[in-house]
Structure 1
Amino acid sequence: MTSASPPPGTRDSEGQIQSRLRQLAPAPKRRDAASPPESSSSSVAGQVSIACEACRKRKAKCDGGLPSCYFCQKRRLACVYREAPKVQLKKMLTELQRSSAALDIVRAMQSRNDGDAMEIFRRIREGVDPDTILRQLRAGDLLLQLHVVPETRLRYEFPHLTQLPDHLQSFDNPYLKSQLFEWTWTDSAPGTVATSSQSSSDDRNSSQVQYLIPYRAATLIEPTIDQLHLSQWTTVSKDDSLLRDILRAYFLFEYPYFSIFHKDVFLDDMLSGQGPSCSPLLVNAVLASGCHCLESIPDRSESWNPRNLTSRFTKEAKRLWEQDVSEETLLTKLQASVLIHALHISSGLDKIGSEYLLQAVTIAFHLELFESPDCVPDLKLQHARDFTAWCFFWWQSVVCYAYRQFPLFRNPPKSLLPDPFEKPAWYGEILVRYPLSPLLVPLQNPQTQKARLQLGILINRACLKLFPDDSEGNTPPYNRRAVVLDLITGFESWHSALPEALGPQNIVFPSQFRVHLHYFNILSELYLVLSAEAEADHTPPQGRRPKPIGLTYAEACYETLLRLYFLRHSFAIPDIMLAQFLTIFAMTAVHHLDAIRNANAADDSHSNDTSSAMPPARDLNSLRSAIALAGKGLSDQGRSYYLAQTMSYILISRLQPEDASLVRTSAGVKQEDDLSRQMRALYIQSQYPIETTHIMSFRGRKCMDKLVKEYAEVTIDEGDSAEAPDPNPGDGDSPIKSE
């Protein structure tokens, strides 16, 4: 059966329907590169925003084809388009940022110290991206600001009594009129920070930054040190960065008052690698001394520890000292001998170290160091010789006075001390920079150096007059009163002639404090001799007789200086002389405290016979505060020097239980066990007369090593065996807020 075909009419109707539908055309083909451009009837969306340079010149419409328009392809021209405005602006911004970063880096190299500038230069040479360098610089500045800003307006606080004792304010005290006291005490109470008016005042007085910030926050600015390769001069360490830090610490803390060589001459010869003012022996001795001054070195006071850097540099210096027999290096051998002698003293080994001092004297005579040469072939070498001669003369006079001995030299060097204002380079200046301050602050080293060297002449003269010459059997003069009065006149004349920078109103740096402390230490002891002579010549009248005005004044100024030193700088600064000053201060306070307690314990019939050595207008609290302050200072110095640490333990052992407990609490000193005491007694070999507070009563007094042996034999009382809390473990002093 076949299907029926559709009727004809039906097919015609379908064709009519299909003819009425819209025809769907295929998509237009992609224009070939050779095809002509579309007509201007194209949509707005296809318009081109930027024409190529060729079409711009012929002022024709460009189709914007990439990589080349139709017109350029047809004529085989280079089709170049201008960048869009947004792209141009973005590139300009990027270039400005790069140039700004480069400019900021250049400015940083201009304004920062030589060490930072060299580090920036090194990173540039290594190919570090400028943005990375700038980011590190800015981040470092922010960290520095966060670290030091709380330190700028805070002061340290006295232990036991936070206020100044009344007896220091009851007379015309010149040191309470000083700028340091006004900036430290008046403008900043404990625990407070600067107000907006104080901050603006600080901005106006930016040149006085040294009165606002502790010295230990300052940084030594010495470009030559950054160029030194110290590892070439020692076998102890090859870490040049560490060695440079040690050298900076030495010149920052110890050198300003205890110098035996000229800094600039020494550094110049070290940089050149040759010269008579630098040798491996001297460099190792300097680094051994500097280890005591660098707080980042743990256990730096343990000079007996063979793993300690201090011990290793000292042993290396002593080894080189034994091998050094050259005539050409005798000057540096003398300088190193003095430094090694000082290292032994600070370690409680002066019996051993005295040999180095005597050898230095022998070398000085061999070199004719104290003589004036007929001709000077080398001005630089003669400068180094003269400076060393004066420094050595000062050192031996200080040591002989401290140990109550006849001096090693009768006369000072024949070369004259130049005027520090006319020839400051003869002494050399030391520059420091404080945090957040762009200024370089000079320590006024020329004035300080001349003042201390002149003071050494007077100290040597006192040793000649007061102490016997055991080698010749001489005894001090019979008319001691006249001799002491003459010595006092000389010291007071020296003090009144100090330059303005060293006046009581202007001192601020630790080296300047040491000059004044040394003066009042000796002056008070001389006045004490006068007081004893007066008591021996006259029968004491009934009733309490006050001390001589000069003695009261000298002791009060001495205590004021120590308290101001602590207020601004704390006693955590490495200071080889401070332990002696604090020991004398502590023993004097203990003497006065015992006198008051004995007077209070005596019957009324005997209370009026109290010795004239008892200070008027002083109470138990102020004296206990003084002992606590001295104990804290010795403990803080004990972190750098073993002798000071030992002195603190001896002081505590000789106090009454309540006073010893106060010192332990204030200083954070813990009890030593029996083994530690015995080891300390075996190690210490010192003849330092720690107990003497009277320069004429040193004969028969117990020296350091004997007192340490007694300390080792003392049994720890049960009630005194508890360890005192350590308020600042392992970190020296801290102000009311952490640094």
Structure 2
Amino acid sequence: MSDDVNNHRSDRPLLPAATRGSAGGHSGRGSGPRPHVNILPKKRQAVSIACDTCRSRKIKVRGKAKSKFISLHCDGQQTCFSCRKNHIVCTYQTLRASPSTQELQRKYTESENKVKNFEAFIRLLRSHKEMEAMEICKRVRSGVDVETVLSLVRDGDLLAQMHLHPEAQFQYTFPYIRHMPAFLCQPDNVYLNSPLYRSTRTKQQPDTTDKTTSHDPGTQYFIPHHAAEPIDPRFDSVKLSEWTAVTRDNAFLTHLLKIYFQFDFPCFPVFHHDYFLQDLIAGCEECCSSLLVNAILAAACHGYRNAENRAEFWDPSTMGYRFLSECRRLWELELGNSSLTTIHAATILAVTYNVNGLDKVGWTYMMQAIAAAESIDLFGDVKNSDSQKLKVVRTFTAWMLFDFQAISCFHLFRPPVVRHAPRTILPDPATHAKWYGELWLSYPTDQRLLPMWHGYTLKATAELGVIFNDMAWQAFAEGRKGLSLTEQAHFQERLNTCMHYLSALIYILDPLSSSAGESSQDQTLSAATVLALAKIKLETLVRLYYVHHGFDSPDFFMMQFLMFLGFMHIRSLATSPTDELSDAYRSTIYLVTKGLRAQGQNYYLAEVLYRMMRDAMSSSDQKYLGTILNVSVDDDGRKSLISQHTRSAYPIDIFSINEDPEKQRLSNLIKGTVDTT
């Protein structure tokens, strides 16, 4: 036992390791000399990436180089320690081809994401409607990758914005000057007190909590019109492929039909949409025909955003060209036919050719539609022997054709073709809403269906057409030289407050405001005051339209107002106004030019007007416009197309109903430009 104890005591004592910087001695028992202890270096931090130089020299890679004795170690960072010390350029190009751990991890992550995207794509096809699923598959078949399609469906534009949910208060911003110009903020400008203007200043979102009983119209004031979707249960039952030989894709054709009813039809509703849809589904040809369907589809192609060159009506590869070609073929078969559907189709074709910059061709279709209407006494009294359906359709068609020719003749500075309005009076939409039918829109974030007030719009447009017809007759009939003072005052009283009224008011008051003839000084001052206020109101409406809806969606009526304001302010700049007014005028010029260029994506006429207006601007304004639109001023590549494809009698840069329009007709101006060049 004692021997064991003695043996333990004779063992060498275990002492703690010496620390760096110890002065001498050691802790523990005894006072012997400090033993020599080798301090092992810390295990290096592994780095999987080395620069090209270190790879070629086979230098070990470490995370950080702290010791002066490891100058041959690469720290795997740019620039690495070894290259810095030896003054060598440090590059990592070989990493791209190296099968490093990070590279393998990246490839694995990409593969995993692809699998997840394909799984999400399958779920997408299962969860969406058949028509939407077909559109999604069509995108993939056209070459769009799955990830992009998923992004479009979730966040962007697919199948007419495909249930797009924009922010509730999305608004467009003005170029150059972000706010409403001061000269528009006049006490007499009633539009600044309207919900349209107030909604641009408030931050409160529309209340749509009670979707069934609420009648708050706030949604329409906060969400752009193009974000809405036309809703009609009959859209799901139509088979348009049975009415056209251009394509058998019913989903695509139905999409075009929705575009037409949302953007084109409200401007010129040339047929009764309820009876048209009924006969379209039933296969009846009383209110529907192949010619009419193809004319509708040709017009709708202007608003099909997936086609980038949709405005190039001369391009055989576009769907618009194909539908128009089919219309021309069917039109030849319809020669001599005075049916209602032929009149409808001819009117739509006239509108289509007008927005293509071929209103000389469009005029011939309008004349044929009027000739067919007169041959069946469409503008006369309805016959008691006709069915109720036929009475409604005839009256509807008569008024819409009359209204179209009245507005067309007025803006072309020509006397009306139809002298008097139809004899049958349109009913009051307040008490006969079913007579007109209704168009409904579905807005994102709102479960309600909101009406477009089709009956009220049609009734007001028809009444305005009567005034336009009378003005055109008094001003442009043979032997007439404009409107007299009495006639100008008479038409001013008849006109109602709407955007089209304002442009017409400027036409009739401009000669009076600058006249020194039969008008007295008080009358001249009064006319000048009304004229100035009309210009202010018109520009206010155009600006409010832009703030709420932008200019990208198809709207062929808007071209008239944009052209009008642009040339008006180009003239105003020539009068050397104050700096504040000059900036305000320029902001409007840039805005409307931007709008014409945007509409030029839909209608070729808008592109022609854009180029004519841009050429009328000063060189400095042209350069600044190029920065706003991100285009080159010297893009003459499409200028040669203007003279080749434009056949238009439309007068531009003219503001008085008493002016001679011949020199200002579009084709004459283009011819003069070409001759000068």
CA gap 1:633/1:674 in 2 versus in 1, 3 angstroms = closer
Structure 1 residue corresponding to 2:296, chosen from 278, 283, 286: 286
Counterparts of 2:231 and 2:492, CA distance in 1? 39
Structure 2 residue corresponding to 1:588, chosen from 560, 568, 571: 568
Structure 1 residue corresponding to 2:480, chosen from 475, 484, 496: 475
Deviation at 1:592, TM superposition (A): 1.3
CA gap 1:310/1:166 in 2 versus in 1, 3 angstroms = same
For the pair 1:568 / 2:548, whether they are aligned, the reply is: yes
Deviation at 1:207, TM superposition (A): 4.8
Matches within 5 A, 1:418-457: 418-457=427-466
Structure 1 residue corresponding to 2:536, chosen from 540, 550, 556: 556
Counterparts of 1:343 and 1:155, CA distance in 2? 30
Counterparts of 1:200 and 1:623, CA distance in 2? 33
CA gap 1:464/1:140 in 2 versus in 1, 3 angstroms = closer
Q: SS of the residue aligned with 2:658?
A: coil
For the pair 1:369 / 2:378, whether they are aligned, the reply is: yes
Counterparts of 1:409 and 1:344, CA distance in 2? 21
Q: Which residue of 2 aligns with 1:351?
A: 360
CA gap 1:648/1:669 in 2 versus in 1, 3 angstroms = farther
Q: Which residue of 2 aligns with 1:536?
A: 517
Matches within 5 A, 1:474-493: 474-476=479-481, 480-491=484-495
Query: Is the radius of gyration larger for structure 1 or structure 2?
Result: 1
Note the alpha carbon deviations across 1:72-114, whole angstroms, 9 max, x for none.
xxxxxxxxxxxxxxxxxxxxxxxxxxxxxxxxxxxxxxxx9xx
Do the aligned residues in 2 keep the contact of 1:253 with 1:574 (CA within 8 Å)?
yes
Note the alpha carbon deviations across 1:675-714, whole angstroms, 9 max, x for none.
5322321211111101212121034423112322344567
Counterparts of 2:464 and 2:206, CA distance in 1? 40
Q: Which residue of 1 aligns with 2:191?
A: 175
For the pair 1:686 / 2:648, whether they are aligned, the reply is: yes
Structure 1 residue corresponding to 2:277, chosen from 245, 267, 274: 267
Do the aligned residues in 2 keep the contact of 1:347 with 1:641 (CA within 8 Å)?
yes
Q: Which residue of 2 aligns with 1:520?
A: 502
Structure 2 residue corresponding to 1:630, chosen from 577, 592, 609: 592
Q: Which amino acid aligns with 1:475?
A: R
Structure 2 residue corresponding to 1:153, chosen from 169, 185, 199: 169
For the pair 1:665 / 2:627, whether they are aligned, the reply is: yes
Q: SS of the residue aligned with 1:432?
A: strand
Do the aligned residues in 2 keep the contact of 1:389 with 1:413 (CA within 8 Å)?
yes
5+ long unaligned stretches in structure 1: 1-111, 121-136, 189-197, 496-515, 601-616, 716-739
Note the alpha carbon deviations across 1:404-444, whole angstroms, 9 max, x for none.
00001111001111010111122221101011211101111
Counterparts of 1:259 and 1:275, CA distance in 2? 19
Counterparts of 1:457 and 1:339, CA distance in 2? 20
Q: Which amino acid aligns with 2:173?
A: E
Counterparts of 2:196 and 2:246, CA distance in 1? 41
Q: SS of the residue aligned with 2:514?
A: helix
Do the aligned residues in 2 keep the contact of 1:263 with 1:428 (CA within 8 Å)?
yes
Structure 1 residue corresponding to 2:201, chosen from 177, 186, 201: 186
Q: Which residue of 2 aligns with 1:247?
A: 257
Note the alpha carbon deviations across 1:314-353, whole angstroms, 9 max, x for none.
11111111111464x6211111111111111111111222
Counterparts of 2:276 and 2:163, CA distance in 1? 34
CA gap 1:669/1:697 in 2 versus in 1, 3 angstroms = farther
Q: Which amino acid aligns with 2:517?
A: A
Matches within 5 A, 1:610-649: 619-649=581-611
| Same amino acid, percent of matched pairs | 31
Counterparts of 1:389 and 1:150, CA distance in 2? 40
Do the aligned residues in 2 keep the contact of 1:167 with 1:618 (CA within 8 Å)?
no
Q: Which residue of 2 aligns with 1:398?
A: 407
Deviation at 1:483, TM superposition (A): 0.9
Deviates more, 1:214-223 or 1:420-429: 420-429
- Size of the alignment, in residue pairs? 529
Counterparts of 1:557 and 1:634, CA distance in 2? 20
Please, what TM-score do these two structures have when normalized by structure 2?
A: 0.73
Note the alpha carbon deviations across 1:114-150, whole angstroms, 9 max, x for none.
x959989xxxxxxxxxxxxxxxx9x978989998455
Deviation at 1:566, TM superposition (A): 0.2
Counterparts of 2:615 and 2:299, CA distance in 1? 29
Kindly indicate whether structure 1 or structure 2 has the higher relative contact order, using CA contacts under 8 Å at least 6 residues apart.
1
Counterparts of 1:517 and 1:439, CA distance in 2? 28
Note the alpha carbon deviations across 1:490-521, whole angstroms, 9 max, x for none.
11xx44xxxxxxxxxxxxxxxxxxxx211111
Q: Which residue of 2 aligns with 1:718?
A: none
Counterparts of 1:338 and 1:649, CA distance in 2? 28
Counterparts of 1:457 and 1:667, CA distance in 2? 40
The runs of at least 4 consecutive aligned structure 1 residues that moved more than 6 Å come to 117-120, 139-147, 538-541, 544-547
For the pair 1:334 / 2:296, whether they are aligned, the reply is: no
Structure 2 residue corresponding to 1:315, chosen from 316, 325, 328: 325
Do the aligned residues in 2 keep the contact of 1:631 with 1:667 (CA within 8 Å)?
no
Please, what TM-score do these two structures have when normalized by structure 1?
A: 0.67
Q: Which residue of 1 aligns with 2:230?
A: 220
Do the aligned residues in 2 keep the contact of 1:278 with 1:332 (CA within 8 Å)?
yes
Q: Which amino acid aligns with 2:493?
A: T
Counterparts of 1:280 and 1:490, CA distance in 2? 41
Note the alpha carbon deviations across 1:376-402, whole angstroms, 9 max, x for none.
332112211110100000000000000
Counterparts of 1:554 and 1:304, CA distance in 2? 39
Structural RMSD (CA): 3.1
5+ long unaligned stretches in structure 2: 1-126, 134-149
Q: Which residue of 2 aligns with 1:416?
A: 425
Q: Which amino acid aligns with 1:439?
A: R
Counterparts of 1:380 and 1:219, CA distance in 2? 28
Counterparts of 2:375 and 2:631, CA distance in 1? 47
